[in-house]
């Protein structure tokens, strides 16, 4: 993902720029944390759905907490992504 948003309890949230998907705006999001196996647990999804379509390593309770966190922060993520759209680097 292109944009860093936060790190809470060693879980990093990143997100993409705003993407046009069939005429609708979407933002891809990814939660990620290092695990004991030397790889990463992750949860990937889209805004505005606030749901995950790919996950690995997180428990159902953790996924529910991550979905709540995503929902609570969705407005700010959209605002940051909109600001970045206005900045073009040649």
As a whole number of angstroms, the distance between CA 7 and CA 9 comes to 7
Stated as kind and residue range, the H or E segment containing 68 is helix 60-85
- Find the domain containing 67 and state its range: 3-85
Is 27 inside a domain boundary?
Answer: yes
Phi, psi of 85 (to 5 degrees): -60, -35
State the total domains in the chain: 1
Please tell me the pTM assigned to this model.
0.88
Is 43 inside a domain boundary?
Answer: yes
Residues 6-36 have pLDDT tens digits of 999 999 999 999 999 999 999 999 999 999 9
Is 76 inside a domain boundary?
Answer: yes
Is 70 inside a domain boundary?
Answer: yes
Is 90 inside a domain boundary?
Answer: no
Q: Buried b / exposed e across 27-48, counting CB within 10 Å, b at 16+?
A: bbbbbbbeeeeeeebbbebbbe
Residues 45-82 have pLDDT tens digits of 999 999 999 999 999 999 999 999 999 999 999 999 99
């Amino acid at each position: 993902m292109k944009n860093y948003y936060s790190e809470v309890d060693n879980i990093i949230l990143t997100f993409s720029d705003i993407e046009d998907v069939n005429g609708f705006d979407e933002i891809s999001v990814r939660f990620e944390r290092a695990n004991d196996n030397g790889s990463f647990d992750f949860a990937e999804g889209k805004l505005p759905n606030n749901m995950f379509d790919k996950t690995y390593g997180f428990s159902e309770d953790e996924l529910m907490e991550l979905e709540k966190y995503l929902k609570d922060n969705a407005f700010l993520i959209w605002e940051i992504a909109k600001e970045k759209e206005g900045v073009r680097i040649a």
